[in-house]
Structure 1
Amino acid sequence: MSRPGGRRATVLAGATTLAVATALLTAPPASSAGAVTVTCTKTQDWGTGFGGSCTITNGTDAPVNGWTVRADLPSGTALTSVWDAKMSVSGNRYTFTDSGWNATLAAGAETSFGFNGTGPGWFTGCTVNGAACDGSGGPGGPGDDTEAPTAPTGLRTTGKTATSVSLAWNAATDNVGVTGYDVYNGGTKAVSVTGTSATVSGLSAGTSYTFTVRARDAAGNTSPASGSLSVTTDEGDDPGNAGGKVVGYFTEWSVYQRDYHVKNIQTSGSAGKLTHINYAFGNVQGGKCTIGDSYAATDKAYTAAESVDGVADTWDQPLRGNFNQLRKLKKMNPGLKVIWSFGGWTWSGGFGQAAQNPAAFAESCYDLVEDPRWADVFDGIDIDWEYPNACGLTCDSSGPQALGNLLSALRAKFGSGNLVTAAITADASAGGKMDATDYAAAARHVDWFMPMTYDYFGAWAAQGPTAPHSPLTSYPGIPQQGFNTAETIAKLKSKGVPASKLLLGIGFYGRGWTGVAQSAPGGTATGPAPGTYEAGVEDYKVLKNQCPANGTVAGTAYAKCGDQWWSYDTPSTIGGKTAYARDEGLAGAFFWELSGDTANGELITALRNGLG
């Protein structure tokens, strides 16, 4: 149903802007020649927060293969994001490691990483590869200690809840000394500690996770992984009220005909109302996740006027396109998360092959989403399989457990530090698509499901009857029972999917017919109404003026203008649907897609206000 083609800025001007050269360390003294050094500075300071960067310089006469920078921040100061490095936090200690692509520093070379933070404090106790950052403690490269600790043993669980797992293990040994342990959830580092126990929080209820532990020493050597341990969190109760998630799709191809770019998310005010963006779509080919349109995603050059932050792309920068613009958008909106969505109506045909080897599929997806060139852009993965063990553009016969197996493998690989979500069918008819897959079992592995409660009816039935494409409830004369939001949510809950893992789906577009004489729903037609990009489909921003709504049915607006009949959601009907979401205790809402809204974000404002 998610069909391609169918469907706070931080103001620094006038404030005290750059608190430039607030340094952790000044340039290293002459006595530190021949050492690896680190210099960190604040590049911005806007009172309640700051931006900064650290530059690692290899002052030795030999290459440095891998680097780890550690430093402490005082209470009340914290980093909120980092780029060009991987970050972990244990108490007040921050650890930054290379991103892979910037791991090797030739003699005399340097590399930098950046970050944003909140609070007034700054770094103390800085080390690089176990030596002082100012070079006073020695070379700071791998040095004489190249021996890794032994792997921890005896990994076990000491307790669990619906959202956390407590672990313990036996200490590792090292020729110099173990300084800490990193706990991994699948392939993602979840927490770093100095002792032999830890609690991993922020997990999903009723979900299986696989944990391992690695030991590390002061020189940055890391042990092999411990034996793995699989733990399923406890089942959670529904919260009884709606969550505040607002998830909007940004389509990769919107930068062409639609002339809608990441900057528009900011200028429309939508960025401040979103909690998550789903970037659509990546492809699924040969049992693997693959990039969709590489030019739009990573290569399209933006001028200063077109760019989110007003800075033009250069010909030699390593990443351009939508991904770089999303990176800039996230820097301006630190709480915003971006999820890479794979599949969709057109590209779901590859999921059948992927389901034959879920682990290999998950590995390929993780390697792509966490590619060092854009790993900081994405906060997880979304699967839009239309439809498992049923028919969409193509038909699938992978079996009722295929989706769950795929999502289980993705959760194990991506871990609790990343989001795993899925867009799913909204067909609640008897024996329909929802009955072809075990969605309750699959739900254990996701943060949330997005049942696509739109596209129920449309002009693919060229002669009608006319019907709202996104009805909230059933109504007399509805063409198909089970094709409405309320029955979809009720059926998923009856199958065991908790309301706290369901989002309400809304379309920011309408579907319409032409050759219609009857104003009320249920009329006959001669075919699809003309649309800007696809017959039978038009954006809300066009319809609100071209064919204003003059009636409602089943909680959705409709309009009769000339011989055309359209149905679509308005700010008023979105208010009714969000009230339903609150009453049902849903986790929030999602919509397809951002470019359909007005230039001032009329629909997303109604959605945000309705959820509270």
Structure 2
Amino acid sequence: MAALTALVLPLAAMVGLATPAQAATSATATYAKAADWGSGFEGRWTVKNTGTTTINGWTVEWDFPTGTRVTSAWDADVTSVGNRWTAKNKPWAGSLAPGATVTFGFNGTGTGSPSNCKLNNGSCDGIIDPVDPLPTAPGTPTAGTVTETSAVISWGAATDDKGVKNYDVVRDGTTIATVTGLTYTDTGLTRGTPYTYTVVARDTVDQLGPASEPLTVTTPGGPGNPTAKKMIYFTQWGVYGRNYHVKNLDTAGIAAKITHINYAFGNVQGGRCTIGDQFADYEKAYTADQSVDGVADTWDQPLRGNFNQLRELKRKHPHIKVLFSFGGWTWSGGFTQAMQNPAAFADSCYRLAEDPRWADVFDGIDLDWEYPNACGLTCDTSGPAVMKNMMQAFRTRVGSNYLLTAAITADASAGGKIDSADYAGAAQYTDWYNVMTYDFFGAWARTGPTAPHSPLNAYAGIPQAGFNSADAINKLRAKGVPAAKLLLGIGYYGRGWTGVTQTAPGGTATGPAQGTYEPGFEDYKVLKNTCPATGTVGGTAYAKCGSNWWGYDTPATITAKMAWAKAQGLGGAFAWDASGDTSNGELTTAINNGLN
């Protein structure tokens, strides 16, 4: 870890912000380099009201030498003219009561330090305090008790001329905790997995010293199936009406039983990837009781919302990888325009996923195009090669070590969507496909016939040939997609009709059954109590209660599907979406146990 140098630039004589008649208003601005990764750095300015009256609006100006520049900023609007940089307060951060402070930050390139600073046009005297020596490296960590899911790490104290404030504990290159003592218990680990720890001391002005020597520990035991992927979708909109948050993945026990999360969705518009919901993604402030780590967000922290909660979840469950999923049913219409320039499209998505504010959150990109060279909510006529071209462009951009996946159709009918695009050609660039083996049937056919939306196999009377999981998987394999790159899809919900008199599948209906969020759709966690399964067909379950008829998967049918997936040599399974599971994650438990 690079040593971090903090430069403190006090404004001499408490530079005034007003006329002499308002001399009670004064302030200081302080600069510190918070991080340095060689090719760039993070800088932070702190403005403090040292006067006796409220400040309404502030502007910080400084010079950078040629070759040093700001590349992105947060909590202030930063602009430049030549080498002169100006930061103006955001609307919510302009008012500072006496004694109050506000901090804004930025990422930059180059090695220079700021000079000639001004605060609200008041001159800074340019005097820079001598550089405060960095703390020493802590003693090499040692391991205490190590279990399948936890490890106790201890280290020797570092020294500093003004004292050590705390220590950052770093696991596999990511800071997971800041503590004041000389020991830390790391939890949420995976059995049979090596972890490497270092410790870095922080002095009283938040300068980080050099890292300790590394310690590698391996948790005992071994995973039941270390190669099986167990992915689940987390939807950004779940934080609203569903009141489902990243923390629920932890409290339900889901996080401990999955390997990957697809965060749904980023938008595709104007030929590029964009943020889908700015508030839910990275602005929503979480209270302590809603937060994964039990600590409330502050108004001025650089990252909030789902992205920060995912960061906290990964710290607690370091085995989880998170992919940023773009598109989906509603936002797939933008892919056609984006694929007019595949390289630029791929670059935009990668840059968004790797934005410095949340680059540590995402480990890959998932592309959910419904559907290339076929019709979903919108239709595409780009040609069968478009899928291969897209995945090739993305692999070229993201490199070989970045996860790249795609959610794809399960329509195995003759001349259907699987036949419309070159999924086999695209597979060479893809880590795996999430085959959407659900939503084969539903109450968009208002009068029926009733049929479970996620049959594993065909059965007598199935409404359409090729609309089942086995046919989809077999067709993709026959076209040349390796079985290990196919994940079987599981829906954590049911689709149903009302006005039904026949218990067995194939009955007529008068329309979609009532659902909590939309007609004809209901979460498993609701259906298991309101309309328990009464039978199985085609490897999935169905239920008849009153005049309503629902088809959905249960723990028992999921267990059978996982056995089938293992027998076929598939890469694992995935689920849409987490919020449909029970509070103790019984469907995810069935996937995990079935694949182990």
* Bin of the TM-score, shorter chain as denominator length: 0.5 to 0.7
- Taking the aligned partners of 1:545 and 1:518, their CA distance within structure 2 comes to 21
Change (3 A) 1:299 1:41: farther
The reply on whether 1:362 has 2:346 as its aligned counterpart is yes
Q: How does 1:197-596 map to 2 (within 5 A)?
A: 243-596=227-580
Q: How does 1:9-48 map to 2 (within 5 A)?
A: 34=131, 37=134, 39-40=136-137, 47=145, 48=151
Contact 2:373/2:381 (8 A) holds in 1: yes
Which segment is superposed worse, 407-416 or 311-320?
A: 407-416
- Taking the aligned partners of 1:357 and 1:561, their CA distance within structure 2 comes to 52
- Taking the aligned partners of 1:118 and 1:517, their CA distance within structure 2 comes to 66
The reply on whether 1:605 has 2:581 as its aligned counterpart is no
- Structure 1 residue aligned with 2:174: 82
Contact 1:559/1:567 (8 A) holds in 2: yes
Question: Once the two structures are aligned, what percentage of the paired residues are identical?
Answer: 63
Change (3 A) 1:257 1:39: farther
Identify unmatched segments of 5+ residues in structure 2.
1-128, 146-150, 163-168, 177-194, 200-204, 219-224
- Structure 1 residue aligned with 2:33: none
- Structure 1 residue aligned with 2:16: none
- Structure 1 residue aligned with 2:9: none
- Taking the aligned partners of 2:382 and 2:277, their CA distance within structure 1 comes to 27
Contact 1:49/1:118 (8 A) holds in 2: no
- Taking the aligned partners of 1:522 and 1:116, their CA distance within structure 2 comes to 67
Kindly state the Cα deviation for residue 414 of structure 1 after the two structures are TM-superposed: 1.1
Residue by residue, what CA displacement relative to the aligned partner does 1:110-150 show, whole Å, maximum 9, x if unpaired?
579999986479xxxxxxxxxxxxxxxxxxxxxxxxxxxxx
- SS of 2:476's equivalent in the other structure is helix
Instruction: Report the AA paired with residue 415 of structure 2.
Output: G
Instruction: Report the AA paired with residue 80 of structure 1.
Output: D
Change (3 A) 1:40 1:530: farther
Contact 1:242/1:584 (8 A) holds in 2: no
Instruction: Report the AA paired with residue 375 of structure 2.
Output: C
Higher relative contact order (CA 8 A, sep 6+): 1
- Taking the aligned partners of 1:389 and 1:276, their CA distance within structure 2 comes to 28
Q: How does 1:142-181 map to 2 (within 5 A)?
A: none
- Taking the aligned partners of 2:472 and 2:278, their CA distance within structure 1 comes to 36
- Taking the aligned partners of 1:51 and 1:426, their CA distance within structure 2 comes to 51
Contact 2:321/2:362 (8 A) holds in 1: yes
Contact 2:437/2:488 (8 A) holds in 1: yes
Kindly state the Cα deviation for residue 417 of structure 1 after the two structures are TM-superposed: 2.0
Contact 1:243/1:586 (8 A) holds in 2: no
Residue by residue, what CA displacement relative to the aligned partner does 1:493-529 show, whole Å, maximum 9, x if unpaired?
0000000100010000000000000000000000000
Residue by residue, what CA displacement relative to the aligned partner does 1:59-114 show, whole Å, maximum 9, x if unpaired?
9xxxxxxxxxxxxxxxxx99424159xxxxxxx99999xxxxxxxxxxx9957999
Residue by residue, what CA displacement relative to the aligned partner does 1:279-323 show, whole Å, maximum 9, x if unpaired?
000000111111100100101001111110111101110000000
Larger Rg: 1 or 2? 2
Q: How does 1:52-131 map to 2 (within 5 A)?
A: 79-82=171-174, 110=207, 119=216
- Taking the aligned partners of 1:295 and 1:386, their CA distance within structure 2 comes to 25
- SS of 1:391's equivalent in the other structure is coil
RMSD of Structure 2 on Structure 1 (CA): 3.2
- Taking the aligned partners of 1:480 and 1:368, their CA distance within structure 2 comes to 40
- SS of 1:347's equivalent in the other structure is helix
- Structure 1 residue aligned with 2:19: none
- SS of 2:395's equivalent in the other structure is helix
Contact 1:79/1:117 (8 A) holds in 2: no
- SS of 1:278's equivalent in the other structure is strand
- Taking the aligned partners of 2:134 and 2:174, their CA distance within structure 1 comes to 20
Kindly state the Cα deviation for residue 45 of structure 1 after the two structures are TM-superposed: 7.8
Contact 2:137/2:212 (8 A) holds in 1: no
TM-score by length of 2: 0.67
Kindly state the Cα deviation for residue 584 of structure 1 after the two structures are TM-superposed: 0.2
Which segment is superposed worse, 544-553 or 37-46?
A: 37-46
Instruction: Report the AA paired with residue 509 of structure 2.
Output: A
Kindly state the Cα deviation for residue 278 of structure 1 after the two structures are TM-superposed: 0.4
Change (3 A) 1:412 1:463: same
Contact 1:339/1:419 (8 A) holds in 2: yes
Change (3 A) 1:115 1:447: farther
Which segment is superposed worse, 34-43 or 477-486?
A: 34-43
Contact 1:532/1:538 (8 A) holds in 2: yes
Kindly state the Cα deviation for residue 354 of structure 1 after the two structures are TM-superposed: 1.1
Change (3 A) 1:109 1:302: closer
Identify unmatched segments of 5+ residues in structure 1.
1-31, 60-76, 85-91, 97-107, 122-240
- Taking the aligned partners of 2:299 and 2:282, their CA distance within structure 1 comes to 12
Instruction: Report the AA paired with residue 287 of structure 1.
Output: G
Size of the aligned set, in residue pairs, is 424
